Amino acid sequence: MVSYDLRVEKQQIFGAEKIAIAADSNKTVELRFYFDVNWRIFDAKAAIFRTAENKYYIIEIKSSSVTVPWEVLTVDRDFELSVIGYDKSTALTAGKVTVKVVSSLLPEDCKTFSPTETLFDRIRQDGVDEAYKKYRDEIESLKRSYDEKILSLGSQINEANENTKNVERAKNEEIVEIQRENESTVSELNSRISELSGELDEAKIKAEKWDLVDAAMSDKIRSNNPLWNGGSKEYRLPFFNTKNTKVWTSTSFDNYVSELGLDLTQATTADQLFMSKEGLKKIKLAGTGNLTSTVFMFYECPSLRDVELGSLEKCTNVKQMFFSASSLEKVKFGANGKICDFNGMFSGCVALREIDATLNFSAAEDVTDMFLGCGSLEKVSFEPDSIALDIDLGVCKSLSRESMQSLFNGLRNSSSCNVTVSKYAYDNNFPTADERDNVESDINEKGWELTLV
């Protein structure tokens, strides 16, 4: 096995100029490809070989390598190589490069100059010098036959090349003629396309005419209250450009919106913004760092499953922010160290599994019923030494060991505070008596009391 390495970057192949493959070799020739990041999205790739006889061989690239077909190496000329990557809807090609073939013998049926076994036996018996004198006519005949077949093959190759040039010339002439015949039609179509594009730019799209809208308003910038309601069908606005919008109210969107992506950079409050939005399923909010209050923000949104927020670094009140969002599964947000009121923040979120945030209770004054009803909660983390008031996670029966340990690490040294957790979760996370003794000892040293329910 003989291997050569090639790099494929974007739509170019590098390294072919360093390759010189010996043709008609008894060894297998392998090409190994090193693809850049642009090619990694394609599940299938293939190498395309074009011989001097204008024959194509398409070989699938497996494990980033491919074996050069024998038929490519038996042709007495260099060959062209290109690469294609493809999936169900997309294809990418790398430009053609020429690979040098060092030498070439004739195909098997033309190797008539090789001595037969009988002749070899006679040469071995008589000696090389005597054999040449004795069988000179036969050897010269074999040489002439070889030369004649070389010339014949060369003529065939030249004829094939000329035929190829004629076909390409005729094809190019036909293309030019077709372009000339359809020039006026193409011009008319381009004019019509331009007119239609202008009409679309001027059209006012209304929500009630949409079945599903993915990003139709992505280039829209509004500087006042964006009333987006009055529709009759479900619609989505995952990339709605609202970076200049300052005022938001519960009437900004109706109950038919199922997905939203907003920029709240200019907003300072989001109280009741999505309250009771029955159709809302997914939302992503950027620029939340200036919000100071999110009270009742997602109050009773029964279909809401996924919420992603930015930083809440200036927010002080999240009271009942997700109250009774019964389908909510995951919440993600950033810094939250100034929040004072956590009252009922996740109360009634019976499907909530993950809070992707580090809860910081450094400024907390009220965490009453914060996790009430969160029986499915598995993952949550707490800022170390930030909890300084009674906290209750007694209903969180699914809480992981890591989350429970993070809760205990979050307890600040105190004298009379109580932490409540589920006995079922506690026993599962710390199954041995020694583990439980160590945990309870650490809690008691901080002045806390552990209650299991």
Q: How confident is the model at residue 75 (pLDDT cuts 50, 70, 90)?
A: low
Q: Is 385 among the domain residues?
A: yes
On whether residue 206 sits in a domain, the answer given is no
- Average pLDDT value for residue range 281-304: 96
Residue 139 and residue 118: Cα distance in Å, rounded? 13
Average pLDDT in the chain? 84
Mean pLDDT of 247-269: 90
CA distance 40 to 54: 30
Q: Which domain holds residue 441?
A: 225-452
Instruction: Please report whether residue 388 resides in a domain.
Output: yes
* CA distance linking residue 61 with residue 33, whole number of Å: 9
- Give the position of tokens 């969107």: 253
CB 66 within 8 A of CB 72: no
Domain annotation covers residue 195: no
Mean pLDDT along residues 114-130: 49
Confidence of residue 161 (pLDDT cuts 50, 70, 90): confident
* Number of domains composing the chain: 2
User: Tens of pLDDT along 299-346?
Assistant: 999 999 999 999 999 999 999 999 999 999 999 999 999 999 999 999
pLDDT in tens, 41-50: 888 899 999 9
The answer to whether position 204 is within a domain reads: no
Does a structural domain hold residue 73?
yes
**Residue 108 reports pLDDT greater than 50:** no
The last residue of a domain, from among 80, 103, 126? 103
Whether 234 and 89 map to the same domain: the answer is no
The pLDDT score that the predictor gives to residue 21 is 79
Same domain? 231 vs 91: no
- Triad 83, 85, 86: Cα angle to 5°: 145
Residue 268 within any structural domain of the chain: yes
pLDDT, tens digit, 9 for 90 and up, residues 4-20? 899 999 889 998 888 87
Eight-state DSSP code of residue 151: H
Q: Which of 88, 103, 118 is the last residue of a domain?
A: 103
Provide the strand spans (E) within 389-431: 391-393, 417-421
Indicate the residue among 103, 127, 150 that finishes a domain: 103
Q: What is the share, in percent, of the chain residues with pLDDT greater than 70?
A: 84
Confidence check: pLDDT of 391 > 60 = yes
- Domain with residue 78: its CATH number is 2.60.40
- The answer to the question of residue 425 being in a domain is yes
